Amino acid sequence: MTITQINCDIERANIARTILESLPDWFGNSEAIEEYIAVSKGQPFFCAFIAIQYNNSQAGLYIPA
């Protein structure tokens, strides 16, 4: 597993937006998406990748409130 801490607010927002907007069935409320993205700025933010087999079509995101 590779874990990377993301320290740049712009990069945090871009990652959060990319993931949240790619899952409209789970995150379909655009106002909520914008709030989640705003909250991601200034918070501890980590990206992790784990896979038994290479597969770039899955991602996970956890934003503590």
**Strands 46-49 and 2-5: what pairing?**
antiparallel
What pLDDT, on a 0 to 100 scale, did the predictor assign at position 55?
62
What pLDDT, on a 0 to 100 scale, did the predictor assign at position 28?
82
What pLDDT, on a 0 to 100 scale, did the predictor assign at position 52?
65
The strand ranges marked E within the chain are 2-5, 46-49
What pLDDT, on a 0 to 100 scale, did the predictor assign at position 1?
72
- How confident is the prediction along the chain (65 residues), in pLDDT tens digits per residue? 778 899 999 999 999 899 889 888 888 888 989 998 998 888 888 888 776 666 666 666 565 65
Structure tokens at 8: 């740049």
DSSP secondary structure code for residue 53 in this structure: S
